[in-house]
Amino acid sequence: MVLVGLVLALALVGVAPGVAAANGTIRGRITLPPLHPIEHRPSLMQPPATAPDREPSQVGVVYLERAPRGAFEHPENRRYRMNQRDERFVPHVLAIPTGSVVDFPNNDPFFHNVFSLSRPRTFDLGRYARGRSRAVRFNRPGIVRVFCDIHSHMSAFILVFAHRYFAITDEAGHYRIENVPPGTYTLAVWHETLPTTTRQVTVPESGDITVDFVLTRSEGGPVSPKRSEGG
């Protein structure tokens, strides 16, 4: 399974050749194929015939499969936010380092119930009203799928990395990973509807490299993660 491989990749630690202080930057653009609507999670409260499909996000995540030496010397305990607004999670895709806390504020004029059954982090925040917020700390790397138990069409992804060498693309597909030690790495691209794509790259000292990806859909069609799996 593509997602199982990605979960393992998020936790891998490698050693890159060279420890020079003159680090570089990886940047580029991801071009996606035409994306099809994503089916919502079935619910007795909202039958499939009436629940709206959600257009797939154009946002992807680019990351190093193996972290260079020194990636874990300074753990980051940061705080992030995933809003509930207009019956959507905003942002739909969030990438964070391990140890981070994510706040889930409710900005809608009705109740939400945020939860996940993903193995890296299982939680159920219960029902809470507009103006309230609840938080979750993520200590294990992997992919966490987030849902609302009240609104079946709401879903999101949180990718938790054991290192800091990752970036979320903008809506146009651009990304930038800074302060990468010189060396050769495997650069990977994740998107919620496509198989993970990888490419070997070499980062020079004090230099920038441009790595563009043109993603294609496999013969089997888009990859749709299952809610019951670890990602």
Q: Is residue 91 reached through a cis peptide bond, with omega within 30 degrees of 0 on the bond before it?
A: yes
> Between these two residues, 115 and 204, which has the higher pLDDT value?
115
Average pLDDT over residues 24-46: 72
CATH number where 14 lies = 2.60.40.1120
End residue of a domain, out of 109, 128, 161 = 161
Residue 68 exposed, middle or buried by CB count within 10 Å (0-12, 13-18, 19+): buried
Summarize pLDDT for 90-102 with one digit per residue, the tens: 999 999 999 999 9
Percent of the chain beyond pLDDT 70? 72
Q: Is residue 230 part of a domain?
A: yes
Range of the domain at 157: 75-161
42 part of a folded domain? no
CATH assignment of the domain containing 80: 2.60.40.420
* Whether 101 and 63 share a structural domain: no
Mean pLDDT in residue range 70-85: 79
Would 51 be classed as within a structural domain?
Answer: no
Each residue of 158-179: pLDDT tens digit?
Answer: 999 999 999 999 989 999 999 9
Question: Per the domain annotation, does 40 fall within a domain?
Answer: no
**Residue 10 shares a structural domain with residue 119:** no
Clarify whether residues 88 and 134 are in a common domain. Answer: yes
Q: What's this model's pTM, rounded to 2 decimal places?
A: 0.79
Q: What is the pLDDT of residue 205?
A: 87
Query: Are 154 and 176 in the same domain?
Result: no
Q: Summarize pLDDT for 44-67 with one digit per residue, the tens.
A: 333 333 344 456 678 999 999 988
Instruction: Check residue 2 and report its DSSP letter.
Output: H
